[in-house]
Amino acid sequence: MSFVNSFQSLVLMQRYSAKTMTTSNILQLLIPLREIEHLTELEVGEVFVSRTYRTSALKRPMPLLNFCAKQLLAVGLVWMVGMIPIGRWMEGNYGPIDENSQVFVAINSSIDLTVITGWNLYMWRRQKRIKTLLRLLDEVDQFNRIIQSVNVVKELSVAKGDMDSPDSEVMRVLQLTRQSLLAGLQVDRLLRAYQDSHPIQRSFVQEIETNLADLQELRTHRELDDYGQLLHQACQIGTSVYQELQSLSKF
């Protein structure tokens, strides 16, 4: 399938998915990891993405703890793997290990440090190659938090007897934002797969511009109600995705 055909299929898919959402299934707007992996064709986790890590995730305590634990585990594994061959080499050249424990520790530690440093350097360079994807994933996380917040507002309204659920305007903003995010993820994948092909069609960027204008207008109408701040955040996400797609289209 050509780049253009893949791109056109993407646009049609996003338009269809947006039409199937209603106010009764607000949580279905969440973008799960399995859907992200399907769109990007990469292994995506909370901390690690395609043999690299998400710097933004390390700003939170639990992901940072997870990252540090895996680093320590890697250090331990490299140490254990190197013990036997290094020990045998030392016994053949320096005599019993007990008599040369300091040398053994120094050599094994040096190898351990070199391997771990090399692996982290590789992940850092890999991070630079998929920086657009990593930024889009941050926006997906923010969008999912907005969906959860909208659902909380809805549940609180029901608990108070207001029966105030997200109306069509709120759902339209969220659907447009979701559509832009999914499009951004797959466009990023297409450009990584077809690096020597044509850039993103200008018509699609113009369509995103139109969506942003609609988002801004809808946000203005709802600034003072319970959903106003959440819609403002959704508009910011749409703007960020648009800017990412614009930067990609230049290459």
Tell whether 190 and 69 lie within a shared domain.
Answer: no
- The Cα angle at residue 83 between residues 81 and 85, in degrees rounded to 5: 85
- Give the CB-side neighbour count of residue 249, counting CA atoms within 13 A: 16
Tell whether 8 and 115 lie within a shared domain.
Answer: no
Tell whether 9 and 107 lie within a shared domain.
Answer: no
Is 138 inside a domain boundary? yes
- The Cα angle at residue 181 between residues 242 and 212, in degrees rounded to 5: 40
Tell whether 145 and 240 lie within a shared domain.
Answer: yes
Q: What is the DSSP letter of 195?
A: T
Cα separation values, 170 from 22, 109, 182, 226, Å: 11, 57, 19, 11
Last residue in a domain, options 110, 127, 144: 127
Nearest 5°: phi and psi at 97?
-65, -35
| Cα(63)–Cα(67) distance, integer angstroms | 6
Tell whether 142 and 194 lie within a shared domain.
Answer: yes
User: For 5-33, what is each residue's pLDDT tens digit?
Assistant: 555 555 555 555 544 454 457 888 999 99
The model carries a pTM of 0.74
Tell whether 136 and 111 lie within a shared domain.
Answer: no
Is 159 inside a domain boundary? yes
Q: Which amino acid is at 157?
A: S
Domain count, the chain: 2
Domain that holds residue 96: 63-127
Tell whether 154 and 244 lie within a shared domain.
Answer: yes
Q: Where are the beta strands (DSSP E) in 11-141?
A: 48-49, 52-53
Tell whether 27 and 114 lie within a shared domain.
Answer: no
One digit per residue, the tens of pLDDT, for the chain of length 251 reads: 454 555 555 555 555 554 445 445 788 899 999 999 998 889 898 888 888 888 888 888 888 888 888 888 888 888 777 776 776 666 666 666 666 667 767 777 788 888 888 888 988 888 888 888 999 999 999 999 989 988 888 787 777 766 555 567 778 888 888 888 888 888 888 777 776 555 555 555 666 677 777 777 766 665 546 677 777 788 888 888 878 777 766 55
